Chains A and B, each alone.
Chain A
Amino acid sequence: MNELEKRLLDGFQRGFPLTERPFAEIARQLNAEEDQVIGALEGLSESGIISRVGAAFAPGGIGASTLAALAAPPERLEEIAELVNGFEEVNHNYEREHRLNLWFVITAPDRDGVDRVIAEISRRSGLEVLDLPMLESYRLNLGFDLQWS
């Protein structure tokens, strides 16, 4: 990673300018050119180091969401992961080392929408789906400290 890329990652996880030409504003702060900044971000994006440049939304702020988990029998894991991934309301799905081996986030316009997805996954898989919505957040996620070691 080059110096510009590191500085973009370190300094701009928040506070991205809400101005007509935000990359030019960032470039000014970093003594670079606008197209260098855009190019560096394209590179970081293409290599998967960043997932995007944009907004991180508060859970619950744009509808209802929950963290759901289920215990898929190992021989049915792929089948059930595919079933879960098939819902557009599911935006993250992780396999974890636990009896409860599938953990996924469901986001819908309202709580009824979340309930419908849970009921449908439960009905089609024949498995109990744990519904663990966030009740309180103890960290305002303002970015993540990176250590260049």
Chain B
Amino acid sequence: MNGIPAIDHMDRQIVLATQEGLPLTARPYHAVAKRVGLEPQEVIVRMRRLLDQGVIRRIGVIPNHYALGYLGNGMAVWDVADESVLEMGRMIGDLDYVSHCYLRPRFPPEWPYNLFAMVHGHDRGQVLERVDKINAVMDEDARAHDVLFSTRILKKTGLRLPT
């Protein structure tokens, strides 16, 4: 995504201090402030600015889709002509069972796909049904597609910002 402003050193400290989540205490921003050496109000102001700037997308309860029974998480991929990809991407990104929809470079011949969507469902069958529906709408705009199911999570951390 373009246009996201650079963050300064202190913003970065706040990101580092919160990447594993806010402490579940009555005054979580006080705890963060203590860690980074700021006043609590300054932490709140900076986090609000990061949210306004889009560096933080949202603050809230981050669910674990697997634990909620969304076991069928499939990474659906398509090869879409460059001139149609914006329209197709927006259409797919609007679906309520899609959590991410990204344009990425192709890596031919190994990887011909440029449009990626994380499609969720209670099981694999439901994910495949949903991908089929998307395929029907895309029609000839998709030259090739695939769905990659994950078999194991080998590593998952909220966000690791190397220092």
Contact = CB atoms under 8 A, between A and B. Distances in A.
A69 B103 CA distance: 16
Contacts, number: 258
Contact of A61 (B55, B99, B152): B55
Considering residues B50, B101, B150, B160, which has the most beta carbons from chain A within 10 angstroms of its beta carbon? B160
B62 A13 contact: yes
Contact of A56 (B7, B47, B58): B58
A62 B62 contact: no
Contact of A132 (B12, B64, B67, B111): B111
Size bracket, chain A contacts:
35 or more
A73 interface: no
| Consensus secondary structure, chain B interface | mixed
Contacts of B93: 137-139
A53 B22 contact: yes
Contact of A12 (B57, B61, B64, B160): B61
A128 interface: yes
Of A48, A55, A104, which is in contact with the most chain B CB atoms at under 10 Å from its CB? A55
30 contacts: A12-B60, A18-B51, A20-B30, A20-B44, A21-B27, A24-B26, A41-B24, A51-B156, A52-B21, A54-B19, A55-B19, A56-B56, A58-B55, A61-B4, A61-B54, A62-B7, A62-B161, A63-B161, A93-B153, A94-B153, A102-B154, A109-B162, A130-B111, A135-B104, A136-B103, A138-B102, A139-B100, A143-B58, A143-B60, A144-B63
Given A18-B44, A94-B153, 12 more contacts: A13-B58, A13-B61, A14-B60, A54-B158, A55-B47, A61-B56, A62-B12, A62-B55, A62-B161, A113-B162, A136-B102, A137-B100
